């Protein structure tokens, strides 16, 4: 009898252990797939709504199959938010001229701090009301004499009407603007065309052959019957290919450059939507400037100092007297050199973050460049201040996609995710990441794969060194009319939404360069020194 009871108890313990193991395994797998199945993206042009997202799993290991699922999930959500809008004639697309903007609740006097709302009803070129939304709009208010500006918030009701809201942040004469960057039909065409091909930009690789060099074709995807060299990151499944030069090993690439290829995935009719005269058209041209007064309102309560991890708003702030003022917090003046004492600043990404190290070097006279014996404009930059123990480094995001006509070395380049993996981290380590501009000419999955690999590397870093400060600098707006199919701000805006969504489950902060550059009105891929200065001031407030 005693033996039976003992055996029965042992069986119960075994069954309980087995059930617990199965429950844990199912929960762990479901946690990994959650962001794929429930990705919380809401796409309103000019209005991005962040929603709650489950915490990142404790085990950051992600298989290639899971990565493919994550990319597919995000892409499917974006496809739903950018539905096809075929059109038979340009006359049926959105037009600024017959569209009607109406000021809601007009006032004789406008007060600082008030919200001003405009109802927009869009029409096509024949004056017919549109029955769907999706137009790419940009709202901005400005006072050039005060060096003041801010973005507006656009709410798309998906029925041809929009609510455009402006917060009156300052006193004085204020001009209102609402640009039709692209009609919804153009947005749909660009989205379809972007995801059709990899060959809008072609790469030429230079391979060493003794004392001479041989050039060959390279690309993210190569449709060639020739023997190929595959450069594959097996963990993150990022690949790049070159046609193998005869009698030269695949391990011998030294340099690369790229150029635009004369190829388009748009029809002739679709391309007409992106002619200069049809991009960035003012929809509030008849609106006069308004005067904003103080109105004897109570002084606004003092805002807390901006700190790492604070939530952002829409709009996230405004420019006044050429200085950025966040909505939710206050930027304190920070003595740069003292703030950076003992810190190692890693700047990783494109040339818009390279502007930061150039600004640091011009602002801190004791910061000296160190020759790392690399060559070319895109070489890694490293600067130190031995007295204050300040170290600042910039390196590009990878050798692809790097869209530049200048030849650059590929000998020392590695993926950002790999750089982060070999970074020890710690409270004195600051990592700032920026990517986007060079990804615009390629299908969105290229950007998503890179963003996810960096996300996973940051997650691993924060597990081993949770006090490391990681900041994402969002990409900024750029020239409105240059090569729209490849570089439209619509492509950048989609990436801006995706990067905010992908990183929302990690303890990182985002510097909203998108909103800042709209407020400044800097339609330039490389913003002015004023913009860079204010972005860096946000960084200093985050870390000091």
d(CA 538, CA 308) in angstroms, rounded, equals 9
How much is the average pLDDT of 195-222?
94
CB 448 within 8 A of CB 487: no
Q: What is the pLDDT of residue 378?
A: 80
User: Under 8 Å CB-to-CB from 226, ≥6 apart: which residues?
Assistant: 243, 244
Confidence of residue 59 (pLDDT cuts 50, 70, 90): low
Quote the radius of gyration of the chain (alpha carbons, Å).
26
Q: What is the pLDDT of residue 60?
A: 60
Confidence of residue 52 (pLDDT cuts 50, 70, 90): very low
d(CA 504, CA 506) in angstroms, rounded, equals 6
Neighbouring C-beta atoms of residue 477, cutoff 10 Å: 24
pLDDT at 435 exceeding the cut of 50? yes
Range of weakest confidence among 21-25, 125-129, 143-147, 448-452: 21-25
User: Under 8 Å CB-to-CB from 468, ≥6 apart: which residues?
Assistant: 423, 425, 426, 427, 429, 430, 431, 461, 462
Mind listing the pLDDT tens digit for each residue in 241-250?
A: 999 999 999 9
Mind listing the pLDDT tens digit for each residue in 164-188?
A: 999 999 999 999 999 999 999 999 9
> E strands of 192-343, at which residues?
201-209, 212-219, 228-233, 238-243, 253-260, 281-282, 290-293, 317-320, 323-326
Mind listing the pLDDT tens digit for each residue in 480-530?
A: 998 999 999 999 999 999 999 999 999 999 999 999 999 999 999 999 999
d(CA 128, CA 178) in angstroms, rounded, equals 20
Between 311 and 13, name the one with better pLDDT.
Answer: 311
Q: Which residues pair with 282 in a beta bridge?
A: 179
Confidence of residue 414 (pLDDT cuts 50, 70, 90): confident
Q: What is the pLDDT of residue 35?
A: 34
CB 190 within 8 A of CB 498: no
Cβ burial, residue 181 (10 Å; 0-12/13-18/19+): buried
d(CA 495, CA 498) in angstroms, rounded, equals 5
pLDDT at 27 exceeding the cut of 80? no
Confidence of residue 404 (pLDDT cuts 50, 70, 90): confident
Q: What is the pLDDT of residue 311?
A: 83
d(CA 237, CA 523) in angstroms, rounded, equals 35
How much is the average pLDDT of 49-72?
67
pLDDT at 300 exceeding the cut of 80? no
Confidence of residue 7 (pLDDT cuts 50, 70, 90): very low
- What structural domains and CATH numbers belong to the chain? 90-181+281-293 (2.60.40.10), 201-260 (no CATH), 317-402+411-542 (3.40.50.1110)
How much is the average pLDDT of 407-421?
90
Q: Would you state the torsion angle of the CA atoms of residues 526, 528, 533, 539, taken in this order, to the nearest 10 degrees?
A: -30
DSSP string, 42-68: -EETTEE-----PPPPS-----HHHHH
DSSP 129: B
How much is the average pLDDT of 379-399?
93
Mind listing the pLDDT tens digit for each residue in 231-290?
A: 999 888 899 999 999 999 999 999 999 999 999 999 999 999 999 999 999 999 989 999
Q: What is the pLDDT of residue 413?
A: 78
CB 304 within 8 A of CB 330: yes
Confidence of residue 64 (pLDDT cuts 50, 70, 90): confident
Q: What is the pLDDT of residue 507?
A: 96
Cα Dmax for the chain: 96
Looking at the chain, the number of H-run helices and the number of E-run strands are: 12, 27
d(CA 493, CA 480) in angstroms, rounded, equals 13
Mind listing the pLDDT tens digit for each residue in 330-376?
A: 999 999 999 999 999 999 999 999 999 999 999 999 999 998 877 76
pLDDT at 473 exceeding the cut of 80? yes
Q: Please provide the average confidence, as pLDDT, over all residues in the chain.
A: 89
d(CA 95, CA 93) in angstroms, rounded, equals 6
How much is the average pLDDT of 13-41?
40
Q: What is the pLDDT of residue 73?
A: 95
Task: Note every long-range contact of 300-303, with CB atoms under 8 Å and residues 24 or more positions apart, other chains counting.
Answer: 300/113, 302/330, 303/328, 303/329, 303/330
Q: What is the pLDDT of residue 324?
A: 98
How much is the average pLDDT of 190-212?
94
User: According to the per-residue pLDDT averaged within each range, which of 181-195, 225-239, 300-314 is highest?
Assistant: 181-195
Structure tokens at 329: 């917090």
Confidence of residue 398 (pLDDT cuts 50, 70, 90): confident
How much is the average pLDDT of 195-208?
94
Range of weakest confidence among 318-327, 373-382, 449-458: 373-382
Range of weakest confidence among 36-45, 119-128, 170-179, 300-309: 36-45
């Amino acid at each position: 009898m005693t033996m039976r009871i003992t055996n029965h108890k042992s069986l119960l313990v075994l069954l309980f252990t087995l059930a617990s193991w199965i429950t844990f395994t199912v929960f762990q797998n479901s946690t990994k797939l959650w962001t794929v199945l429930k990705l919380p993206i809401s796409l309103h042009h000019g209005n991005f709504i962040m929603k709650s997202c489950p915490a990142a799993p404790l085990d950051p290991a992600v298989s290639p199959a899971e990565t493919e699922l994550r990319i597919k999930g995000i892409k499917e959500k974006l496809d739903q938010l950018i539905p096809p809008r075929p059109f038979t004639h340009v006359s049926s697309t959105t037009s600024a001229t017959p569209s009607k903007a109406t000021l809601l609740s007009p006032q004789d006097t406008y007060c600082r701090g008030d919200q001003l709302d405009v109802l927009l009803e869009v029409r096509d070129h024949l004056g017919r009301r549109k029955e769907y939304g999706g137009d790419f709009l940009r709202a901005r208010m400005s006072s050039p004499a005060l060096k003041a500006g801010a973005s507006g918030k656009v709410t798309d009701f998906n029925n041809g009407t929009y609510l455009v809201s402006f917060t009156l942040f300052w006193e004085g004469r204020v001009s209102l603007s609402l640009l039709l960057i692209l009609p919804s039909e153009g947005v749909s065409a660009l989205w379809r065309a972007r995801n059709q091909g990899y060959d809008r930009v072609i790469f030429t690789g230079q391979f060493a052959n003794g004392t001479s060099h041989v050039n060959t074709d390279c690309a993210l995807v190569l449709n060639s019957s020739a023997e190929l060299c595959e450069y594959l990151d097996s963990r993150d499944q990022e690949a790049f290919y070159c046609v193998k030069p005869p009698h030269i090993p695949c391990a011998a690439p030294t340099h690369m450059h790229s150029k635009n290829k004369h190829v388009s995935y748009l029809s002739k009719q679709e391309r007409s939507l992106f002619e200069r005269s049809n991009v960035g058209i003012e929809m509030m041209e008849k609106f006069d400037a308004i005067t904003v007064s103080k109105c004897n309102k109570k002084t606004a309560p003092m805002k807390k100092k901006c700190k790492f991890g604070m939530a952002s708003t829409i709009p996230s702030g405004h420019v006044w007297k050429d200085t950025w003022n966040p909505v939710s917090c206050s930027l304190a003046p920070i003595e740069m050199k003292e703030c950076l004492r003992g810190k190692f600043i890693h700047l990783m990404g494109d040339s818009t973050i390279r502007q930061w190290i150039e600004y640091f070097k011009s602002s801190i006279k004791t910061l000296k460049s160190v020759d790392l014996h690399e060559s070319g404009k895109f070489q890694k930059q490293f600067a130190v201040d031995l007295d204050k123990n300040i170290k600042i480094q910039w390196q590009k995001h990878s050798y692809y996609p790097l869209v530049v006509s200048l030849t650059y070395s590929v000998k020392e380049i590695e993926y950002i995710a790999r750089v982060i993996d070999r970074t020890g981290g710690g409270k004195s380590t600051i990592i700032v990441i920026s990517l986007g501009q060079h990804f615009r000419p390629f299908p969105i999955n290229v950007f998503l794969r890179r963003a996810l690999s960096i996300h996973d590397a940051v997650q691993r870093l924060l597990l081993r060194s949770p006090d490391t400060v990681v900041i994402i600098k969002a990409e900024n707006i750029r020239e409105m009319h240059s090569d729209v199919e490849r570089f439209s701000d619509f492509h950048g805006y989609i990436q801006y939404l995706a990067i905010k969504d992908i990183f929302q489950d990690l303890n990182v902060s985002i510097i909203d360069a998108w909103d800042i550059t709209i407020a400044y009105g800097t339609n330039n891929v490389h913003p002015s020194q004023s913009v860079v200065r204010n972005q860096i001031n946000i960084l200093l407030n985050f870390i000091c």
